[in-house]
A = this chain, B = another copy of it.
Amino acid sequence: MKGIEIKGISKTFKDTKALADVNLQLEEGKIYGLLGRNGAGKSTLLNIINNRIFQDEGTVTLDGEPVKENEQVLSRFFLVNENNLYPEGMKVKEAFFWGKEFYPDFDMEYADKLCKVFELPKKRKIKNLSTGYQSIFKNIMALSVNVPYVFLDEPVLGLDAYHRDLFYRLLIEKYAQNPFTVVISTHLLEEVTNIVEHVVIIKNGQIIKDESRDDILNGGYCVSGPAALVNAYISGRETIGEDTIGGLKTVYLLGRPDDVLPDGLEISSMNLQKLFIQLTGV
């Protein structure tokens, strides 16, 4: 099989089972959302795939080749996460230089351009950047390395709404020019709903959902309209959430809607955030 194959991965930290028999395939050129509550095991899985920590059991392969301690394979991966692996005192522009050394296809011109777009001064030390600007720096690296597998563990940590939107737009632009595999882990689900093609949900170290976004969203629906009409519609049905703006109400339901709806009600597709809460809630 082409792509990444994760087979039977388990990992325990002291008395905590972080991952339990995880099986997953990540295909070439596809954008994945890796979703889960705090502590579900997302970061552990990404760290194992990227050889940052070792599994207790199981294997990760790329195009059939084991990933573990395989420099050839790992040079095709790039992981952005909360850890700062850059040496104390290293400046942004030095990190770009290092990036180019390690990743031959690193696009220095594009990285420079993104620094201007995000107003990141290249002379600044990485360590002295705010949380938001550390995320920006790491995302610029991820967008510039030009490797076929990019893993983004909470890429919008500390970013304001404008910068979050800008980052996702640039990611999509890059992907459209030349598709690559992207695995995005985030707690701001609404912002990635339209970006991810495939959704993997992890709960207590186990994968509980591994489906295309469309299949997942088709598993439920939303009904919107004046509150009184919506309340009449949901009487006797089980809803999994609701939102109200002014006198308008939107409710979220599992299953498929009736073929004919009362006048004044609108059907739309499921909201990923609501579905996620339903699947992973406490």
**Residue in contact with A224 in the complex, picked from B133, B162, B248, B268, CB distance below 8 Å:** B248
Question: Quick check: B246 and A119 within 8 Å, CB to CB?
Answer: no
Question: Quick check: A136 and B248 within 8 Å, CB to CB?
Answer: no
Q: Among the listed stretches A106-114, A153-161, A209-217, which one makes contact with chain B, having 4 or more residues with CB under 8 Å of it?
A: A153-161
Q: Among the listed stretches A36-44, A62-70, A90-98, A169-177, which one makes contact with chain B, having 4 or more residues with CB under 8 Å of it?
A: A36-44
Using an 8 Å CB-CB cutoff, how does the interface string of A182-204 with B read, 1 for contact, 0 for none? 00000111000000000000000
**Residue in contact with A277 in the complex, picked from B38, B161, B187, CB distance below 8 Å:** B161
**Residue in contact with A222 in the complex, picked from B82, B157, B246, B268, CB distance below 8 Å:** B246
Does chain B have a CB within 8 A of A56? no
Interface centre among A225, A248, A250, A277 (most CB of B within 10 A): A248
Question: Quick check: A38 and B158 within 8 Å, CB to CB?
Answer: yes
Question: Quick check: A38 and B157 within 8 Å, CB to CB?
Answer: no
Question: Quick check: A119 and B39 within 8 Å, CB to CB?
Answer: yes
CA distance A178 to B159 in the complex (A): 32
Does chain B have a CB within 8 A of A3? no
Nearest CB of B to A102, in Å: 25
Question: Quick check: A130 and B38 within 8 Å, CB to CB?
Answer: yes
CA distance A247 to B246 in the complex (A): 16
Question: Quick check: B282 and A38 within 8 Å, CB to CB?
Answer: no
CA distance A87 to B37 in the complex (A): 28
**Residue in contact with A187 in the complex, picked from B119, B159, B250, B280, CB distance below 8 Å:** B159
Does chain B have a CB within 8 A of A245? yes
Q: Which residue of B lies closest to A226 (CB)?
A: B266
Using an 8 Å CB-CB cutoff, how does the interface string of A269-282 with B read, 1 for contact, 0 for none? 00001001100111
Nearest CB of B to A10, in Å: 19
**Residue in contact with A158 in the complex, picked from B160, B163, B164, B187, CB distance below 8 Å:** B187
Does chain B have a CB within 8 A of A75? no
CA distance A222 to B248 in the complex (A): 12
Question: Quick check: B131 and A154 within 8 Å, CB to CB?
Answer: yes
Interface centre among A119, A161, A189, A273 (most CB of B within 10 A): A161
Question: Quick check: B136 and A161 within 8 Å, CB to CB?
Answer: no
**Residue in contact with A163 in the complex, picked from B38, B121, B224, CB distance below 8 Å:** B38
Residues of chain B with a CB closer than 8 A to A158's CB: 38, 82, 154, 157, 187
Question: Quick check: A268 and B245 within 8 Å, CB to CB?
Answer: yes
Does chain B have a CB within 8 A of A132? yes
CA distance A188 to B43 in the complex (A): 22
Does chain B have a CB within 8 A of A208? no
Residues of chain B with a CB closer than 8 A to A245's CB: 222, 224, 250, 266, 268
